[in-house]
Amino acid sequence: MRDHADRTPRLLPWTTPEGNPCFLLPSDGTGYVSRLADRLEAEQLGSAAVLIEDAERVLADRSWTPGELHLLTVELKNSLVTTHRVAESRGARLPVPAYEPYEDPDDDPEDYPEDAPDDGPRRP
C-alpha cells in the first residue's frame, strides 16, 4: 500500500512567489518540511471552520452591508481554495484501492447528457 504513496510527490500547502505549486519529494513523512506542511494544513482547516461559523452568524443576522457580504464572499472563496488544495494533496497520497470501485447498475450515463443545463444548487 505504501508503494503508491512513496512514489507520489506531496503537494504542499503553499505556492512559489509566482503562484506555482510546490511539491515535496516522497519520504517517510517525518521530516521538517512534512511536519511544517502538516501544521500549516491543520491551521488552514481550523481557519476554515472558524470562517464557517462567522458566515453562519453574519448570514443569520440578516443585517449585513454589501461590503460585509463582499468581504465574507472573498474570505470564503480563499478558504475554499485552501481546503481544496489540502484535499487534493491528501487524496493524491491515498493508496490505490485493490478492488474495483462500486458502480450502480441502475446509474446510466445516458441519463445525464453533457449539454444538460446546470442550474446550480437549489434552495430547500
Contact between residue 19 and residue 64 where contact means Cβ atoms under 8 Å apart:
no
Average pLDDT of 23-41?
90
Q: What is the mean pLDDT of residues 42-66?
A: 91
Whether pLDDT at 21 is above 80: yes
Rg over alpha carbons for the chain, rounded to the nearest Å, is 20
Average pLDDT over residues 41-63: 91
Q: Beta partners for 15?
A: 21
Task: Give the mean model confidence (pLDDT) for residues 51-58.
Answer: 91
Taking residues 27-54, report their average pLDDT: 92
pLDDT band at 111 (very low <50, low <70, confident <90, very high): low
Among residues 31, 36, 32, 30, the alpha carbon closest in space to that of 13 is found at 36
Evaluate if pTM is beyond 0.75.
no
Give tens-digit pLDDT for 60-93.
Answer: 988 888 999 999 999 999 999 999 999 999 888 8
